[in-house]
Structure 1
């Protein structure tokens, strides 16, 4: 909880630094100059000393990929271990902000400093906009001191990186903390096998919502596309088309080939508990693992972080059901 004394500001692009072009708002370089000018114009703000780094290329976050997450992870670790930074503020577009916050939560397990992600619904400089309040609000929180971990700061609220989600597309209070049920207790320490120092690699993942009419041919096509992990968004407490024997066989066959199968609930405040209904138990029998009350962003980030380590299917499944950074226990 010590106040930050040397902060890394990592700029990745997003609306916060966008400028108008003939095609509309687009990411723009040179944000450090604008940030320093804004700070100089408001010297009463309490912020840590900071250094600035801009990732290349800067992005509209709609174009964010796993490679960019790994690039962010590398820049953060370099800032901490080589340049002695004791906190990080990452500026990011809002479309995939929650996905990046969740993924970095697992990529940076054990990092001894806080990492806060923020962005804005309007570009910096817009009168009455949210860019400077979000950015300097996050800086002020870091100046006060935050426990190590990954967080998302927006509209005055500091949210856990694995429990945040974008709920609105045109309002300053766009992000909220998940109200999905939590269970279990948080691990007291991060196992060395999952430590941030271990390199990761990109992973082929897919998300498949269940819906009336989804058939075995579509499911099999997805599962045979080369995916290493699939996140199924089930009904309610973890049910699905369990009367479709061919669909269940497609899942079983994929699991036998080593594909990791994970499940979350489609309900905004739902949690997967397979044993409540027979339909859920039949799904679970295919090798599907419950991610309980995890959000989509957290479940995908966790799959990426675990499979990207090169762990076996059984090892990934074992860690999926253990709380590592508030994704399960809240």
Structure 2
């Protein structure tokens, strides 16, 4: 008889484990563990053995910071040799940021890490959390998945390609520039050809994840002073959401001067597209030329969430600006199409 897989479930926080209180739904220590214990479908022979760790304190994902990404990554890395796979339960608001960050932090883990949550708490009658959790656990038990995934509704997505697309729908996440890795329907079907073939290796985590990186969306008439503030010390990096394929107002001399000054100070500027379904090509239009001249790096088809998390991780690893610029444009965890 095949031995049951062992899955480590890290409950960082989020709606899935919340309980109704006098002031509304709120995280209550121990409540999620009780709910999982009372779900008979999670304890059948077909389901892996679950080991649940509830974080203290539980985190509302709106309060998540890069230090919380590192906390989760350290927890999973410390348990890598004791479990076959990992599930992270997380709030939906910043789930795509955390999924992206874990993809970069846990390169080399060589085991499935699946992030999920729900729109309705697990203890409520119509909760989507039951199916999300069960699908996540089954994906985390697969031998062919060796990367960070995000499971929600019927979709199995690459973690560093996911974005939150709906505030209330059960199909809350999408992957605009990469087809889903799989679908959870009558059967859980994974397209093996889309999976990353990562061999286990060292997981070198930074001591801290505190590199100051700002995020700024370009808009018509945006004053140069706003960009100057985003590039000012202590900033070491800025993700700029530019228009279309990566264009900026080339007639705004002050804005371009500010960009050049930031680059001269060693601030790394990564450029992504405001278009959900889009790709940055800084060589496509003349209005992108100032970005190249200022040393900015195009993020190709990276999501904003992935670009921000990637820059925070790279800069926190103590790399020089030129090395960070080179790595930002490279595919490290399946986050971009080269």
Q: Which one is further off, 200-209 or 84-93?
A: 200-209
In 1: Cα distance, 2:316 partner to 2:3 partner? 33
Aligned pair partner of 1:91 in 89, 92, 113:
89
Alignment correspondent of 1:196: 203
Alignment of 1:147-296 (within 5 A): 147-179=145-177, 196-201=203-208, 202-296=210-304
Q: Which one is further off, 229-238 or 28-37?
A: 28-37
Measured at CA, do residues 57 and 43 of structure 1 come closer, stay the same or move farther in structure 2, by a change above 3 Å? Answer: closer
In 1: Cα distance, 2:83 partner to 2:198 partner? 22
Deviations 1:107-132 (Å, cap 9, x if unpaired)? 00111211000000000122122011
8 A Cα contact 1:190 1:324, kept in partner = no
In 2: Cα distance, 1:319 partner to 1:281 partner? 21
Q: Any gaps of 5 or more consecutive residues in structure 1?
A: none
Alignment of 1:25-64 (within 5 A): 25-30=25-30, 31-39=32-40, 43-44=43-44, 46-64=46-64
Measured at CA, do residues 4 and 285 of structure 1 come closer, stay the same or move farther in structure 2, by a change above 3 Å? Answer: farther
- Say yes or no: does 1:304 pair with 2:312: yes
Measured at CA, do residues 255 and 246 of structure 1 come closer, stay the same or move farther in structure 2, by a change above 3 Å? Answer: same
In 2: Cα distance, 1:4 partner to 1:267 partner? 44
8 A Cα contact 1:92 1:117, kept in partner = yes
In 2: Cα distance, 1:6 partner to 1:253 partner? 52
- Say yes or no: does 1:8 pair with 2:15: no
Measured at CA, do residues 327 and 4 of structure 1 come closer, stay the same or move farther in structure 2, by a change above 3 Å? Answer: farther
Alignment correspondent of 2:104: 106
Deviations 1:123-166 (Å, cap 9, x if unpaired)? 01221220111001111223344421100011122110111111
8 A Cα contact 1:255 1:286, kept in partner = yes
Q: Any gaps of 5 or more consecutive residues in structure 2?
A: 180-193
Q: Which one is further off, 314-323 or 143-152?
A: 143-152
**Pairwise CA RMSD:** 2.4
Greater relative contact order, per chain length (Cα 8 Å cut-off, separation 6+): 1
Q: Under a length normalisation based on structure 2, what TM-score does the superposition of the two structures give?
A: 0.89
In 2: Cα distance, 1:315 partner to 1:191 partner? 24
Secondary structure of the 2:283 match is helix
Measured at CA, do residues 251 and 3 of structure 1 come closer, stay the same or move farther in structure 2, by a change above 3 Å? Answer: farther
In 2: Cα distance, 1:18 partner to 1:289 partner? 41
In 1: Cα distance, 2:272 partner to 2:305 partner? 11
Secondary structure of the 1:85 match is coil
Measured at CA, do residues 191 and 131 of structure 1 come closer, stay the same or move farther in structure 2, by a change above 3 Å? Answer: closer
In 2: Cα distance, 1:253 partner to 1:191 partner? 42
Alignment correspondent of 2:183: none
Question: What is the count of residue pairs matched by the alignment?
Answer: 321
Measured at CA, do residues 214 and 23 of structure 1 come closer, stay the same or move farther in structure 2, by a change above 3 Å? Answer: same
How far did residue 177 of structure 1 move? 1.4
Alignment correspondent of 1:20: 20
- Runs (4+) of structure 1 moved beyond 6 Å? 185-192
Secondary structure of the 1:135 match is helix
Alignment correspondent of 1:122: 120
Secondary structure of the 2:36 match is helix
How far did residue 294 of structure 1 move? 0.3
Q: Under a length normalisation based on structure 1, what TM-score does the superposition of the two structures give?
A: 0.91
